[in-house]
Amino acid sequence: MTTIPAESSRDSDGLRRQLGLLDATMINVGTIIGSSIFIVPASIAVLFSGSFPTVLVWIAGGLVSLCGALCVAELGAAMPKAGGQYVYLQRAFGPLWGYLYGWGAAVVINPASIAFVSVGFATYLGFFIPLSALAAKLVAVGIILLLTALNCFGLRVGALTQDVVTTLKIAAVAALVLLCLALPGGSAANFHPIWPRESATALIGPFGLAMILALGAYDGWIEITYVGSELKRPGRDMPLSIVLSTLIVSLLYIGVSVAVLYVLGQAATGGSSMVAADAMRVVLGPIGGGLLTVAVLLSTAGCDNGMIFTSARIPYAMARRGDFFAWAAKLDARHSTPNTALIVQGGWAALLAWSGTYNQLVTYMVFVSFLFYALSAAAVIVLRRREPALERPYRAWGYPVTPVVFILFSGYLIVNTIREAPGDAAIGAGLLLAGLPVYWYCRKRREG
């Protein structure tokens, strides 16, 4: 494995290799943990009559996510290039599939997700500062533009921001778990009933719905692959950071699930709209809600920064290969960052936050995301067979079981979305296919 220790060294993509293992891990952890873990435990608990499956869902979600992470870690270590899945899918399945992923991620999924999280930040800020609807929109737009501007000042500025905010976020979530378990207010009796009243077959449907919620909360472990060109030791740090971040988040998520059940019990957890805040109020009183809100603000800010930081590398990588508009391939002369792509992405995300259309876009594109996740897992199998000589600094643990397990779960989510929400699935597919004219235009320009 070749390492590139100098911070000033550049990859063939023109980007500087400056990120270490800590940076890579904090990028992933910070992007995965948003606001979901403070809300979703209630949505999962309401599906079951016993606490065991409520906790089991978080364990299973972590294991399935780890299967996907192990697969992507192999691809990322073998092809440490800006753009992540865009590069892997091109190599495994051809230019069109790589382009469709890049289009969906760069134009729809990531900007809508950035807007979604920024609105969540503004909503929770209202706990301390009452905000009108207009003021909340201004705050959401402001946080997007502020974080975009920070990332335009160079890779180290964006990475340092992510390191600090994510460290505080991890500490806040860990404190939530410890306080709920250590302070008076909770009881082991609240775990009862442990076993659900329903039969095992009757739990198949609810467990599937709960898994969708849990896997959504775990989403984001792929973010570090977008900045593969900027890792100093990609062969080592890419897979290690992906696995470490997934394990860290799994422990935190399982801990939160156990903690809120310990304090509130199964029924009250399922009946709460702000489950983490309610648990903190039980053990700390009124101040608990304020402390939890600080944790959510840190969490959403770190999640937004991670997405802004990494996502702009996708259109940059596409433009470098002639699959997107040429302006996206421009690097800032001083900082060697894709500032044009960052600014356009920030403006588009801010517009979505202002218009309120981000939520629908996120909903429409959920099944598309898992389609590409499944294809990435399949790419591991395809490339192992087609290119056995490809240098793989890391090989996915548990192959071929890990990619097959992840493909099966992703397939279930895709089929379930099409069955339960065919309209949303059709719109998501339409948004994806809307990128084809741009693909044909860029291809014609490249060939001409």
- pLDDT by 10-residue block (mean), the chain, 448 residues: 44 79 93 88 92 95 92 93 92 95 92 90 89 94 96 89 92 94 93 88 84 86 88 91 93 96 94 87 89 90 93 94 92 90 96 85 80 94 96 93 92 82 87 93 84
Which residue ranges form the domains of the chain, and what is each CATH number? Answer: 21-447 (1.20.1740.10)
Q: How many CB atoms lie within 10 A of CB 358?
A: 23
Pure H helices in 40-154: 40-45, 51-78, 85-93, 95-103, 110-125, 133-151
* Inter-residue contact 276 to 256 (CB < 8 Å): yes
What integer pLDDT is reported at residue 360 of this predicted model?
77
**Taking the mean position of all CA atoms in its chain, how far away is CA 293?**
21
pLDDT in tens, 368-402: 888 999 999 999 999 999 999 999 999 999 999 99
Question: And the tokens for 108?
Answer: 């729809």
Per-residue pLDDT at 10: 61
pLDDT at residue 11, rounded to an integer: 61
Alpha-carbon span 242 to 221, nearest angstrom: 6
Would you say 140 and 297 are in contact if contact means Cβ atoms under 8 Å apart?
no
137-161 pLDDT per residue, tens? 999 999 999 999 999 998 888 889 9
